[in-house]
Structure 1
């Protein structure tokens, strides 16, 4: 077999129990990486980990302790950590802020923002210890546009785009790449009861998103925001100068 850039690497994937995260975990394993599957649904994490011969970790990543536990487990089992895919996410499911449930709001910001901040914070020292590596964040096309179907979700995804852009120059000097994928609607169970938000048109497959994610983890450009649209090629997003 031909060696890949991912062979022998250790990767941690959050939200790895289903959807995009599960697809990425399977592709990483097929490419020769050891995979740590992290999800708040322990049974789902164990199922995917069993499929890929990886390690399952049940953790609430919106809490600092949950994130620390997941990253410590990865290094304890494998001795190092090279790649991190911060993929867990949640919709608020409402376009009308006057109808927004406060508990749902806290849950969405916890998963979509706090878990990314805590995840990057935990990843940096681990990747430094490994001599460098890569962090990939799953943002969304909603992180680059005015997504009026779910303004709170859009806000959170804009936030992580800003975090990636702000951190990229500094982390690059430490041998750590950080980038984001920004997919359009994806055909997963993620939408669940909020599928009514999809107004029609083609949707991405999880395999297409996972393929793009693997390319970024293997050798993407730091600070890049990769837009993924059904039927199109992954395209870096370019901001106009401020």
Structure 2
């Protein structure tokens, strides 16, 4: 097993990608703590995964104390933290820049950027205590190029790449690796929301148009992204840090 005797913390763990990663990591031998805002959603995810290696902790990633508590809970339950998937994120609204309200902009930045930064600040001391670890940040293909009507989301996903590169250099000597995964459109609730924002009431029309632009001809499934995360979390990627992994079916080629 690729993650035997390791402990992973996954933010956004009740959602599509987070849940798929939790299931896969547990199958590969890890103890997994999933974190999200809703206790009901977290409990449902744990029940769905059906593994006694997976537990949960209600966490608001925009709150420093919550991040510290999340890592402390993982250490108390499992002894150490070896892996962090900084995966929590929101899409915000689909609107032109001049129509975008400040409160929504601030919320996107708080979750997608500050939430990642706080998670790193909380987990790095734990990883230093256990002589290293792997941090995988969920960015997006929207972090590799711009797109109309999603400027705050795209900005946030560019920002975490800069954060990743800086932190990777700061802590490489301590055997802490930091990388991003940049997914293409994935079959999740977030993409349904974005499709509806692009063309309200259009049904599958937007989905089909997006698929036409993807060389591999489909959206990713959450497990497609989770497999890339597994590689980066595992010792197979022991010489990889500061890197951006586009998992996008050729979309950014």
Query: Is TM (by shorter chain) over 0.5?
Result: yes
Matched, 1:12 2:14: no
Partner Cα distance (1:138, 1:102) in 2? 24
Task: Report how far residue 149 of structure 1 moved.
Answer: 3.5
Secondary structure of the corresponding residue to residue 189 of structure 2:
coil
Q: Is the 8 A contact 1:167 1:178 kept in 2?
A: yes
Question: What's the RMSD between the two structures over aligned residues?
Answer: 1.8
Measured in 2, the distance between the counterparts of 1:90 and 1:52 equals: 27
- Maintained 8 Å contact 2:97/2:149: no
- Distance in 1 separating the partners of 2:72 and 2:147: 36
Contact 2:93–2:104 (Cα < 8 Å) also in 1: no
1:224 and 1:101 map into 2 onto residues whose CA distance is 33
Aligned residues: 231
Residue 108 (structure 1) aligns with:
108
The CA deviation at 1:43 is: 1.3
Question: Whole-Å Cα distance in 2 between the matches of residues 45 and 130 of structure 1?
Answer: 27
- Residue of structure 1 equivalent to 2:241: 222
| 1:87 to 2:106 alignment | no
| Structure 2: gaps spanning 5 or more residues | 199-205, 212-217
- Structure 1: 4+ residue segments shifted above 4 A: none
2:185 alignment partner, SS class: coil
Alignment match, 2:210: 200
RCO greater where, 1 or 2, for CA within 8 Å and sep 6 or more?
2
The answer as to whether partners of 1:11 and 1:81 remain within 8 angstroms in 2 is yes
SS in 2 for 1:6: coil
Matched residue SS, 1:173: helix
TM-score, normalization by structure 1: 0.90
Retained in 2: the 8 A contact 1:132–1:176?
yes
* Kept after mapping to 2: 8 A contact 1:136/1:178: yes
Kept in 2, the 8 Å contact 1:182–1:226? The answer is yes
Q: How does 1:181-200 map to 2 (within 5 A)?
A: 181-196=181-196, 197=198, 198=206, 199-200=209-210
Residue 8 of structure 2 corresponds to residue 48 of structure 1: no
2:9 aligned with 1:31: no
Q: TM-score, normalised by structure 2?
A: 0.86
SS in structure 1 of the partner of residue 134 of structure 2: strand
Contact 1:25 1:52 in 2 (8 A): no
Instruction: Quote the Cα distance in structure 2 between the aligned partners of 1:133 and 1:49.
Output: 24
Secondary structure class of the residue paired with 2:210: coil
Deviations 1:146-186 (A, max 9, x none): 12230100100010000111121221111100000001111
Structure 2 CA distance, aligned partners of 1:101 and 1:194?
A: 17
CA shift for structure 1 position 37:
0.6
Which secondary structure state, in structure 1, belongs to the residue aligned with residue 187 of structure 2?
A: coil
Task: Give the equivalent residue in structure 2 for 1:122.
Answer: 122
